[in-house]
Amino acid sequence: MSGSVSVPIRSSAFPADSEAPRHSAVVRVTHWITAACFLALLISGFEIVISHPRFYWGETGNILTPPLFRIPIPASRTLVPTGYGYVLPDQNGWSRALHFQSAWVVMLTGLVYVVVGIFSGHFMKSLLPAKSDLSARMLRPLRRPEAREAWFYNPIQRLTYLLVIFAGFPLVIWTGLAMSPAFVSAIPAAVTLLGGQQSARTIHFFVSLALLLFLIVHVTMVMIAGFKDRVGAMITGRVDAIPEDV
Domain that holds residue 204: 20-135+148-236
DSSP 8-state code for residue 67: P
2 has pLDDT over 50: no
DSSP E strand boundaries for the chain: 54-55, 69-70
Any domain includes 7: no
Look up the CATH number of the domain holding residue 73: 1.20.950.20
* Interatomic CA distance for residues 195 and 192, integer angstroms: 5
Q: Is residue 6 part of a domain?
A: no
Q: What is the average pLDDT score of the chain?
A: 84
Q: What percent of the chain has pLDDT over 70?
A: 79
Structural domains of the chain, count: 1
Q: Does the residue 3 lie in any domain?
A: no
Query: Is there a domain that residue 9 lies in?
Result: no
Percent of all residues in the chain with a pLDDT value above 90, rounded to a whole number: 60
- Structure confidence by residue, pLDDT tens digits, 95-133: 999 999 999 999 999 999 999 999 998 888 888 877 666
pLDDT tier at 229, thresholds 50, 70, 90 = confident
* 25 domain-assigned: yes
Distance CA 235, CA 27 (A): 10
Distance separating alpha carbons of residues 40 and 50, to the nearest angstrom: 16
Q: What is the pLDDT of residue 226?
A: 81
Beta strands in 69-138 (DSSP E): 69-70
pLDDT the model gives residue 16: 42
pLDDT of residue 124: 85
97 assigned to some structural domain: yes
Q: Find out whether 203 and 56 touch, Cβ atoms under 8 Å.
A: no
pTM of the model: 0.82
Q: How many CA atoms lie within 13 A of 226 on its CB side?
A: 15
pLDDT band, residue 11 (cuts 50/70/90): very low
Q: Please state which of the ranges 30-34, 76-80, 132-136 shows the lowest mean pLDDT.
A: 132-136
Domain-located, residue 15: no
Residue 23 predicted with pLDDT over 50 = yes
Asked whether the beta carbons of 44 and 96 are under 8 A apart, the reply is yes
| 140 inside domain | no
